Amino acid sequence: MTHPFRRTATRLADGRDLIYFDDTEPWLSGTSDREAVDERPLGERSPAGTMRRDALTGDWVGIAGHRLDRTFLPPKDECPLCPTGRGSAPSEIPAHDYDVVVFENRFPSFAPVATPASELPSGRDPLFAEAPALGRCEVVCFTSDHGASFSSLSPHRARTVVEAWVDRTRELSRDPDVEHVFCFENRGQEIGVTLHHPHGQIYAYPFVPPRTAQLLDRARAHHASTGRLLGADILDAERKDGSRIVLEGEHWSAYVPFAARWPVEVHLAPHRDVPDLVALEDAEKDELAEVYLELLRRLDRYYVKKNGSPVTLPYIAGWQQAPVREGRDVSRLHLQVMSVLRSPGKLKYLAGSESGVGGWVNDVPPERVAERLREVAT
């Protein structure tokens, strides 16, 4: 069944896009329109930074000095993601309430407005390649409730967030400057979150990021030798083995990967072969909202303090989708959730081996993680 929501697009004072995704009244039926106007004196929007290519690896690195001044852990009454009127100053969202909203980041690493060519150096050694960081960075606010979290959302609201991810993946993929769309959420100060309000982000890169390129290379090699999709074969093998399966539905399964790198890591994959979020059918999106909430709630019960209370897990959750143009025939959608917390109050640091040469060492057997996540099922 199609999920009911209403999409309303508007613009902020500096010309950045803002889109409401409403699933409740009076906005759903249009009884009340989204007429609030952003009246802040913002001036011109920030242009894109630049990208520099690392000659040793071939990777592009974004250089975005303007992000040094971005908002950092403001008090609740100065939160830029709360609706305007709830704090001491106007926020990024001019409405006095909202369900789900997406807007262009005010401090973007990648933006559709290019840095002027006159500001880019010329005549430089070809080993020092540089280009404008064209693309998009968007913020996805899951709810207007500052004290909530994704795991506390209702299935109905989580389903609306899924629709926002689908909408933005579809639209951003049409941008000729964009090569890859990455929807993700950072939660917890241990991860580096700078705003406490429950939100995620979407990066639309002008290149295929290194890890995505690595996944694509492995998928191509597997397909060339077997004629099958690597992601599908991994999911089938995990379901057959069963020791690392966390939960299963009609359309989705969650499992701890066989060679998990992080102390807590779970992958969530659809049973059907799809390249990206846009390709999901309504029934798959419906179940995704339910299964993902259950997974996040289990993760928040994974660790307990000495007094028996659960530990709110810091995590990164990111959708691995097919690039916009490359390798879509061999790519397969999945979500990766990972945490740096190796025990209550103790973090895994990416020290010499991981940061220096990418040689990962995980102290926690993946089977033990999966067993624990099955134990804490509701």
Task: Indicate the annotated binding residues for Zn(2+).
Answer: 79, 82, 146, 197
Q: How far is CA 69 from the centre of its chain?
A: 22
Instruction: Give the count of alpha carbons within 13 A of 87, CB side only.
Output: 22
Question: In angstroms, rounded to a whole number, what is the distance separating the alpha carbons of residues 101 and 262?
Answer: 31
Which residues fall in the annotated binding site? 79, 82, 146, 197
Paired tokens of 246: 């966390």
User: Residue 91 phi/psi, 5° resolution?
Assistant: -100, -170
Which of 283, 276, 226 is closest to 252 using CA atoms?
283
Q: How far is CA 242 from the centre of its chain?
A: 27
Q: Letter for the amino acid at 375?
A: E
Is 271 annotated in the active site?
Answer: no
Set 196, 199, 267, 334: catalytic member: 199
What are the residue numbers of the active site? 199
